[in-house]
Structure formats: C-alpha cells, structure tokens
Amino acid sequence: MNGIDLLPLAVGHMIGLGAIGSCLGIGVMAAKYLESSARQPELMDKLQGKVFLLVGVLDGAFIIATGIGLWFATANPFKG
C-alpha cells in the first residue's frame, strides 16, 4: 500500500476533524458568550463584535483545510 492509496482517508480526516473542531469551538465560545452576557448585560455590545470575529477565524481555518483537502483529492500533487 503506497501513499496515494491513503489519500482519500487523509482528505476525509482533514475535512472531518476540521469540521468537528470548528463546531466544538464555536459551540463552546457561544455558550461562554451567552453566560457572560447574562452576568453582565452592559458588556454585550462590546463582546458581540469579538465573538463574530472569532467565529470568522474558526470557520476560516475549517474552510482552508477543506480547500487544501479538495485540492489534494483532485489535483493529486503527490502522484509520481
């Protein structure tokens, strides 16, 4: 078994684990945001922009991993 046979497995891991990590990160961050806004409602407006920025960063990491995985799957850069 050579490396090119394991490419679909590697691409699946890149996309799947990236999606799981992104979803868990956004879920934990949203829960903490709701908890902090319930404790101090006057900080809600200041925290909302930071939450949206971090959601974009987390989703950006997943989208980049998906793009690289699909590039590996279609272009086959490791094929000899």
What's the CATH code of the domain at 56?
A: 1.20.20.10
Q: Is residue 37 part of a domain?
A: yes
> What contacts 51, CB < 8 A, 6 or more positions away?
29, 30, 33
Q: Region 52-80: what's the mean pLDDT?
A: 85
Number of domains in the chain: 1
> Are 47 and 37 a contacting pair, CB within 8 Å?
yes
Q: Is 59 a catalytic residue?
A: yes
What is each CA distance from 46 to 2, 31, 37, 51, 65, in whole angstroms? Answer: 52, 16, 10, 9, 30
8-42 pLDDT, tens digit each:
888 889 889 989 999 999 999 999 999 999 999 99
Q: What is the pLDDT of residue 14?
A: 87
Q: Which of 7, 29, 59, 72 is catalytic?
A: 59
Domain that holds residue 30: 3-75
The answer to whether residue 80 is domain-embedded is: no
pTM for the complete prediction?
0.77
